[in-house]
Amino acid sequence: MSPRSLARLLLATRALPPRPALFQARAMLRAQRLDDDWALDSSTRPADVAELLRLARGRRAVVELGTATGWTAGALLLADPQRRLTSFDPVAREHRDAYLRLLPRSARERLELVRAPGHEAQGAGVELLFVDSSHDHAATVAEVRAWRPRLASGGVVVLHDYGNPAFPGVEQAVADLGLDGEARGGCFAWRAPGC
């Protein structure tokens, strides 16, 4: 990534609360030092992370599908010191541990990494489900269907890259699932019925 592109990305972290912003900026700088262009190119952009954090406010039991670099997981954990996060990803990224070590131990202790695809749902009472995995239509449908019965009353499902022409499967999955929600930035948010 060019120095100018990195500078723009670092400036974009201003959209985040202070602790997640600092973590993401440090992770970006570490990625630059590690020559991890994949992390810099594919990580969830700060504006979308900021929207996710707004949707996550007050939600303590969170599941993420698609850990990738761990940058979004770190932001979710730092935004709420009571939040617990379980993150599913069948692929262990090369530098993920280097990024997660940037988190304080108190945050890392609230993170459970599961090396499995997102459709292998476990647990119950999920208050927020963040789907940012394969972006494939069939996989996204399978993941949402697997987790839907595990959501808490009023739980929120957030699908990343909704409306992104590079990932039409996400928008198609939302339509096929009949989710009645709203587009918020690069995300789609749907709320499970409450009691």
pLDDT tens-digit readout, 118-169: 999 999 999 999 999 999 999 999 999 999 999 999 999 999 999 999 999 9
pLDDT of residue 195: 52
Dihedral angle at the C-alpha atoms of 51, 57, 62, 67, nearest 10 degrees?
30
Q: Which domain holds residue 143?
A: 3-191
State the CATH number of the domain containing residue 78.
Answer: 3.40.50.150
Phi and psi torsions of 63, nearest 5°: -125, 135
Q: Determine what percent of the chain is predicted with pLDDT higher than 90.
A: 96
User: Which pTM value belongs to this model?
Assistant: 0.96
Query: What average pLDDT does this structure show over 66-79?
Result: 98
* Number of domains present in the structure of the chain: 1
36 and 94 Cβ atoms separated by less than 8 Å = yes
- Average pLDDT value over all residues in the chain: 96
**φ, ψ of residue 27 in degrees (nearest 5):** -65, -40
The per-residue pLDDT for 2 is 87
Cα 7 to the chain's mean position, in Å?
22
Categorize the per-residue pLDDT at 1 as very low, low, confident or very high, splitting at 50, 70 and 90: confident
More confident position, 194 or 113: 113
Q: For 22, list phi and psi in degrees, rounded to 5.
A: -65, -45
How far is CA 75 from its chain centroid? Answer: 9
